[in-house]
């Protein structure tokens, strides 16, 4: 086992467990490689181990395989999901729309847009992507369903279309820099009010 003497494992500050430091180094190496242009198909446990300065066995002790490691690494880009308060449909939607396309890690800007055509090429990779985003989508769906139950939203609501109407504008602005002059801090509120009230003159 070469990883007993590998750089990431070697100089250990007192009181900090070795496993946490190796975990960090492995996740960081994965994100660095993706940000440098590695595709999720081409990225290998070997390359991640080399970049992290650990042995392959160190990775396999922590993750069953590449998919599980990629899922953890990609989740890291987004940070902790927001928690809707559950009082006002409008407030909850503004909170959730504000988190769409938002990443706490700047490497996301290089990783996420190119990930999309790639995951669409294989069912396994599409599933990996879905596993990351589905829990967040489900939170938004639940807010919409609650609005319908309470009579605040139209009973004939097409939840998936409305999800796309709320998510799409934010995603194209944040991921594609859709329009340079759109004010991002107020955009979630303007999208939610636009979708709630419509644009027709009354």
Applying CB under 8 A, which residues contact a copy of itself? 109-110, 113-114, 116-117, 120, 126, 151-155, 157-158, 160-165, 167-173, 175-179, 181-182, 187, 190-191, 194-202
Residue 15, Cβ density class (10 Å: 0-12 exposed, 13-18 middle, ≥19 buried): exposed
Q: How far is the CB of 7 from a copy of itself (least distance, A)?
A: 30
Q: How far is the CB of 167 from a copy of itself (least distance, A)?
A: 7
CA pseudo-torsion sign 150, 153, 154, 160:
negative
Residue 25: how many other CB atoms lie within 10 Å? 21
Residue 94: how many other CB atoms lie within 10 Å? 19
Q: Which CB, 7 or 135, lies closer to a copy of itself? A: 135
Q: Which CB, 25 or 96, lies closer to a copy of itself? A: 96
Q: Which CB, 24 or 134, lies closer to a copy of itself? A: 134
Q: Which CB, 139 or 175, lies closer to a copy of itself? A: 175
Q: Which residues contact 163 (CB under 8 A, 6 or more apart)?
A: 137, 140, 141, 144
Find the length of the chain.
202
Q: How far is the CB of 66 from a copy of itself (least distance, A)?
A: 21
Q: Which CB, 13 or 151, lies closer to a copy of itself? A: 151
Q: Cα(111)–Cα(127) distance, rounded to whole angstroms?
A: 17
Q: How far is the CB of 184 from a copy of itself (least distance, A)?
A: 11
Q: Are 8 and 25 in contact (CB under 8 A)?
A: yes
Q: How far is the CB of 178 from a copy of itself (least distance, A)?
A: 6
């Amino acid at each position: 086992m070469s990883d007993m003497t590998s750089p990431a494992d070697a100089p250990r500050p007192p009181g900090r467990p070795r496993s946490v430091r190796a975990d960090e180094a492995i996740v960081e190496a994965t994100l660095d490689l993706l940000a440098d242009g590695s595709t999720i198909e081409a990225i290998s446990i070997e390359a991640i181990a080399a970049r992290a300065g650990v042995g392959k066995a160190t990775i396999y002790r922590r993750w069953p395989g590449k998919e599980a490691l990629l899922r953890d690494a990609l989740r890291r880009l987004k940070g902790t999901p927001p928690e809707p308060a559950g009082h006002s449909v409008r407030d909850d939607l503004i909170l959730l729309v504000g988190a769409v396309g938002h990443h706490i890690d700047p490497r996301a800007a290089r990783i996420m847009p190119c990930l999309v055509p790639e995951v669409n090429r294989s069912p396994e990779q599409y599933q990996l992507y879905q596993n990351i985003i589905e829990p967040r989508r489900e939170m938004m769906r639940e807010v919409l369903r609650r609005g319908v139950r309470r009579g605040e939203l139209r009973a004939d609501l097409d939840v998936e279309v409305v999800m796309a109407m709320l998510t799409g504008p934010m995603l194209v602005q944040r991921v594609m820099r859709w329009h340079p002059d759109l004010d991002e801090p107020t955009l979630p509120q303007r999208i939610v009010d636009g979708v709630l009230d419509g644009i027709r003159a009354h």
